[in-house]
Structure formats: structure tokens, C-alpha cells
């Protein structure tokens, strides 16, 4: 009986891990679509830095997606966040 309970516990834990990873992949995919459709005019260096930020921090993906309807706020966040993460030079202008 204990073996069965341990097995079920492992299945539940790995299922939640898989589900969390799937949600993160779905968010990344959504962010990439937004990047292509809404922010296609960004310089290549900024797009690359955003993709790297998405890889580094799930919070960056959530913020980027949340701010999609406020382009001014989103761009200001990029101007501050990406250099602070070391992904763009501090004096990079876009």
C-alpha cells in the first residue's frame, strides 16, 4: 500500500511539473506571437534581448504579455529592464 501511495505521489508531482512547464511554453509561444505581430518594428538587438529575457525569467514573459495594450509602458519597461538584466548596453537607444 505504501508503495502505491509513493507511486501516486510521484505521478501527481511530475504531472504538476509537466503542467507548469506546458503553461510556461504556452506563455513563451504567446509572447513570440506578440513580438512578431505587435513589435515587429523593434530593432533586432531588442528582439533578441527580449527572447533572452523570456528564457531567463518567466516574470518577464508575464509582464510583456500584460503590457501588450500599452505600447508606451511596454517600451519604457524594455528600456529599463533589458539593460538592467545586462541584455542591452545601458546607453542603447531605440
HEC per residue, the chain? CHHHHHHHHHHHHHHHHHHHHHHHHHHHHHHHHHHHHCCCCCCHHHHHHHHHHHHHCHHHHHHHHHCCCCHHHHHHHHHHHHHHCCCCCCCCCC
**What is the predicted pLDDT for the residue at 60?**
93
Domain annotation covers residue 31: yes
- For residue 15, pLDDT over 70 is answered with no
Confidence class for position 4, pLDDT limits 50, 70, 90: low
What domain range is 92 assigned to? 25-94
Domain annotation covers residue 92: yes
How much of the chain, in percent, has pLDDT values that exceed 70?
84
Confidence class for position 2, pLDDT limits 50, 70, 90: low
Give how many domains the chain has, as a whole number: 1
Domain annotation covers residue 39: yes
Domain annotation covers residue 1: no
Confidence class for position 8, pLDDT limits 50, 70, 90: low
Amino acid at each position: 500500500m505504501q508503495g502505491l501511495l509513493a507511486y501516486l505521489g510521484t505521478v501527481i508531482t511530475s504531472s504538476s511539473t509537466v503542467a507548469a512547464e506546458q503553461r510556461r511554453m504556452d506563455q513563451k509561444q504567446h509572447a513570440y506571437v506578440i513580438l512578431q505581430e505587435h513589435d515587429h518594428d523593434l530593432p533586432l538587438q531588442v528582439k533578441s534581448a527580449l527572447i533572452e529575457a523570456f528564457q531567463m525569467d518567466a516574470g518577464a514573459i508575464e509582464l510583456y504579455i500584460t503590457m501588450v495594450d500599452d505600447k508606451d509602458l511596454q517600451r519604457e519597461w524594455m528600456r529599463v529592464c533589458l539593460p538592467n538584466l545586462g541584455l542591452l548596453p545601458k546607453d542603447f537607444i531605440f
